[in-house]
Amino acid sequence: MKVEIDSSSGFCFGVVNAINQAENELQVDKSLYCLGDIVHNSEEVNRLESKGLITINKQDLIGLKGKKVLLRAHGEPPETYRIAKENGITVIDATCPVVLKLQSRIKRSWDDLKGNNGQIVIFGKKGHAEVNGLVGQTEGNAIVIDNIDEIAELDFSKPIALFSQTTMSSDKYLLLADNIRKMMVKTLGKDDVPLIINKTICGQVSNRKKEIEQFAQKHQVVVFVSGEKSSNGKMLFDICKQTNSNTFLVSNADGVQKEWFNGFDDVGVCGATSTPVWLMQLVAEKIYSVASEKVKENYQKLI
């Protein structure tokens, strides 16, 4: 049995930076609060919590005084910083630079548009931590849509600035933008419509589509490792599954089933930008283990 771990899979820069900052703080203070899961992978969260990381929610933050709190790579709305300042909280800001830049662009765009009755539209997952931070830059006025059917709630007669959550599908974003443009042309009766389409999907994420397709094509079976909360994981898993129907999703090594490998001897293991390499290695080891068990079973049947 040959098992290859995708060298392009694993944590993106933003997640690596957040985890490094958390581990550095924990070496000094032995405990650290983190607002929300530091990464959308429960196995990595459990590992860091065993080192002293304490995951809290927004309500916990309101009641917290004088502590250190890490803000993860997803970013936070202005309200979070206000609460932290009022409560004497020391902020360890691990917001991804790509997300920070996007927040700034949305704020500037909102400042320009609000006087012209314009609309900020964000293509993203409603309630996602990153999206909440982006909406916060517009004083809560941005319209979040995650599929084409929802564009009906837009006013196509007004100016629109379109942005995307950094981890969304590039293809779906382009399709969405095209549909909005068509509706604006139809409504306004002209081709020159007040629509600004901003390229805001992370380059590391957008490049993963092609990489994951190539990886899935070269293996008989693909095991995709991702946390259940990861939107990036869902998107990349769907791409894997469309490319190779023998693709299976697991959140940890316990999810591996030996039946998946019947008649196959070439397996690829890959994951999301929120999946740690050590977890993919454990999954690969489990695949070797169950494959060996299958060989033994077949041998016993023969004798």
Sign of CA dihedral 132, 130, 67, 61: positive
- The torsion angles phi and psi of 148, rounded to 5 degrees, stand at -60, -35
Angle between helix axes 78-86 and 129-136 (nearest 10 degrees) is: 90
pLDDT digits (tens, 9 = 90+) for 180-208: 999 999 999 999 999 999 999 998 888 88
How far is the C-alpha of 94 from the C-alpha of 74, rounded, in Å?
8
**pLDDT of res. 174:** 95
pLDDT digits (tens, 9 = 90+) for 92-144: 999 999 999 999 999 999 999 998 899 999 999 999 999 999 999 999 999 99
pLDDT digits (tens, 9 = 90+) for 74-92: 999 999 999 999 999 999 9
Sign of CA dihedral 58, 60, 61, 62: positive
Q: Name 236's Cβ contacts closer than 8 Å, sequence gap at least 6.
A: 208, 209, 212, 224, 226, 270, 271, 272
pTM of the predicted structure, to 2 decimals: 0.87
Closest CA to 288 of 230, 223, 225: 223
Query: For residue 293, is pLDDT > 80?
Result: no
Going by their DSSP bridges, the two strands 160-164 and 119-123 should be labelled as parallel
Section 264-272 average pLDDT: 95
Q: Which residues carry out catalysis?
A: 130
Section 222-247 average pLDDT: 94
Kindly indicate the confidence band of residue 232, based on its pLDDT and cuts at 50, 70 and 90: confident
140, amino acid identity: G
Domains of the chain: 2-9+204-302 (3.40.1010.20), 13-95 (3.40.50.11270), 98-165+168-197 (3.40.1010.20)
